[in-house]
Structure 1
Amino acid sequence: MTQAYVALGANLGDAQATLRRAIDDLASLPHTRLAAYSSLYRSAPVQAQGPDFINAVVELHTELDPMALLAELQRLEREAGRERPYHNAPRTLDLDLLLHGDTVLHRPALTLPHPRMNERAFVLLPLAEIAPGRVSPALLAQVADQRVERL
């Protein structure tokens, strides 16, 4: 089993309910076990417009390789009504694979570790909640000016 971390976000519809449902859906992925999930957080959109986002991070233990896990995440997004009319559009559900074990990957569809995770308080704060060893105080200090509220 490989330890993987997935960031969840939504800012359309009932985002809190969507994230709770997505956490349940992630727990039922094939060859995967939900190990931990963070609290929900509210954050302002970053490089986007629209309502505030609700965010969380989950830890999965999975036998799926990174591309197979990505395919499952994209399937769950589609099932939640995710549309991609333009870059950074508001969304019903966004699932980003942050880390997959020690995998370093650079493909058009997937880069691991996630290339912008260390720039985003809405990722680092929930990740630090469930995996404090993965987030240094220096990283948290770099994003301290971003508004994020734990719900």
Structure 2
Amino acid sequence: MTICYLGLGSNLGSPQRQLMLALTKLNKLPKSVLTKTSKCYCSQVAGSRAQPNYYNLVVELSTSLSPAELLRFCQRIEKQHGRVRRKKWGARTLDVDILIYGKRQMHTRQLTIPHPRMLQRDFVLVPLLSITPQASLPNSTLISTHLEKCKRYIIREKS
């Protein structure tokens, strides 16, 4: 089994409820066990887009699914939550991103691992580091070294 980390976010349709329902579905993935879940964080929208605030969290998943299989399941869960991919940076009912997949590095048309923008976003790094403080990139660089350099979006931790 491979340890991977997924980032979840929502800013439409009762975001915290969307995230909780998504966790239930992730917990039922085949060949996978949801092992850790971070607290939820409320964050402002990246950039100047006029949208509601986002709610974000990170989960640790132990899985035997391949990265491509895991991506398909994540996209299926997004679709079940009404996700429509219209605008690249548009508001969404649910976003489920593969952040890290073991020590794997890959870049295809569909998927880049590690996630290409995760190190720029505190709403990814803070919850990730809360469940795995020693998290590292495939090149063994500690992710915590990037926290001071990333942009600040988090408004508050949700209970």
TM-score range, shorter chain: over 0.9
Q: Which runs of 4+ in 1 moved over 4 A?
A: none
For 2:154, the aligned partner's letter is: R
TM (normalized to structure 1)? Answer: 0.95
Q: Which runs of no fewer than 5 residues in structure 1 stay unpaired? A: none
TM (normalized to structure 2)? Answer: 0.91
Tell me how far 1:24 sits from its aligned partner.
1.2
Distance 1:54 1:18 in 2: 10
Is 1:74 aligned with 2:83? no
1:1-151 matches, within 5 Å, as: 1-47=1-47, 48-134=49-135, 136-143=143-150, 145-151=152-158
Identity of aligned residues (%): 39
Distance 2:26 2:154 in 1: 27
Tell me how far 1:139 sits from its aligned partner.
1.4
Distance 2:32 2:11 in 1: 26
Tell me how far 1:78 sits from its aligned partner.
0.2
Q: Which runs of no fewer than 5 residues in structure 2 stay unpaired? A: 136-141
Tell me how far 1:140 sits from its aligned partner.
1.4
Distance 1:136 1:67 in 2: 24
Distance 1:6 1:148 in 2: 21
Distance 2:2 2:10 in 1: 26
What is the RMSD of the two structures over their aligned residues, measured on CA atoms? 1.3
Tell me how far 1:147 sits from its aligned partner.
3.4
Distance 1:144 1:19 in 2: 23
CA distance 1:145–1:82, change in 2 (3 Å): closer
Tell me how far 1:138 sits from its aligned partner.
2.8
2:45–2:153: 8 Å Cα contact kept in structure 1? no
For 1:150, the aligned partner's letter is: E
